[in-house]
Amino acid sequence: MNSSHNQNNAPINTALGEDGLSDQPWWVEQWMELINSYRFKKRLERAWTYAREGKVISIRFEGRRVHARVQGTDLDPYKVKLWLDVLNDEDWSYVLEALTQKARWSAQLLSGVMPSDIERAFAASGKRLFPFKLQEVRSECSCPDKANPCKHISAIYFLMGERFSEDPFVLFQLRGRSRAALLADLADQRLKALANFSNEKNSDKEYETNNQYLPDIPHPAVLEPGLWWSYSSSLSADLVVITPAMEGDTGLDVAGDLPFAQDPKFPEARNLFLSHLSSQGKVLAEQAMIQAMASGG
């Protein structure tokens, strides 16, 4: 995607007011916060004046870079370039997979809205969409000022916020994916996801067809509560101390209400299991105590 503002030499028309970019989407506000973190406030004030008074002659978004011309004190405008570090193909594969998993993200982007939690999609790649700090925005200016960003570069920062408001896909473009490429990749990812889902559903149906002869039965412990007490490994006698239980103080009493899942096919399974478990517990407790006393354990 190649997008531009005013390719001729006339000053570009901006929506900048005296107090800044008001009533802007959240992603524009985040970009402006990045600019306002710059510690040389006087330079920012002059840059704001440049942007507001039409000193920025042109801005072109070409591929992964922003090219601009700013009229300074010299007769010829200064040339400004800005760019961000791009994500490689592997990074973008993680981002696209995350975007595909949330249909809301794709729907919002297609409607021109930047999802408020879009950074979660980029976190899958370990990268970010928005620069975390101003130093992550690369820039060059042909003016003699050694400081970076100079007032000409800073003026472009301000006007880039306006461009992001018009088209949030510009941010993706600066990270290495144009609007057309991103939407095409998302479409491919969705087709792959749908194909995988269809294959899984067909596999489930095939499994159900091949296993129709298997009856629905509850867990074995429901019908044989003695399995609850089964333990095949041996314990050291030093780790076991057996004492008679207090009246009514059984393992079930101590455990309280057990969180059994309700089985709609066997509505009485829970009560049946607890009843058998309680009686089985009492019998085994008596046998254990007799055996322990007989062995001197």
71-82 pLDDT per residue, tens: 988 899 999 999
**pLDDT given for residue 87 in this prediction:** 92
Residues (pLDDT < 50) of the chain are 1-21, 214, 297
167 to each of 13, 17, 266, how far by Cα in Å? 17, 20, 57
Q: Tell me whether the omega of the peptide bond preceding residue 25 falls within 30 degrees of 0, making it cis.
A: no
Q: State the residue range of the domain holding 123.
A: 2-194
**Edge-to-edge strand order for the sheet containing 2-5?**
2-5, 56-62, 65-70, 78-83, 138-141
201 lies in some domain: no
Q: What pLDDT score was predicted for residue 200?
A: 65
Last residue of a domain, one of 194, 209, 234: 194
Q: Which amino acid is at 207?
A: Y
Contacts of 238 (CB under 8 A, 6+ apart): none
Does a structural domain hold residue 69?
A: yes
Distance CA 211, CA 217 (A): 14
Q: What is the pLDDT of residue 279?
A: 79
Residue 68, pLDDT score = 95
Does residue 200 belong to any structural domain of this protein? no
Same domain for 266 and 121: no
The pLDDT of residue 239 is: 54
Using the 3D structure, point to which of 178, 194, 210 is the last residue of a domain: 194
CB 21 within 8 A of CB 164: no
**169 and 283 co-located in one domain:** no
Q: Is residue 92 in some structural domain? A: yes
Whether 33 and 124 map to the same domain: the answer is: yes
206 found inside a domain: no
What's the rounded Cα separation, in Å, for the pair 53 and 247? 90
Indicate whether 235 and 147 sit together in one domain: no
Residue 203, domain member (yes or no): no
| Residue 268, domain member (yes or no) | yes
What's the number of domains the chain is made of?
A: 2
- Tell me the Cα Rg of the chain: 35
Q: Are residues 190 and 227 in the same domain?
A: no
Same domain, 61 and 144: yes
Q: 132 and 44 in one domain?
A: yes
Could you tell me if 178 and 290 lie in one domain? Answer: no
Q: Is residue 225 part of a domain?
A: yes
Residue pair 242/288 in contact (Cβ under 8 Å)? The answer is: yes
Residue 224 shares a structural domain with residue 177: no
- Name every residue whose Cβ is closer than 8 Å to that of residue 188 and which is 6 or more positions away in sequence: none
Asked if 242 and 115 sit in the same domain, the reply is no
Q: Tell me what pLDDT residue 262 has.
A: 60
Together in a domain, 273 and 236? yes
Name the one residue in this structure whose structure tokens are 């003016």. Answer: 143
- Structure tokens given for 208: 């159900």
Residues 186 and 48 in one domain: yes
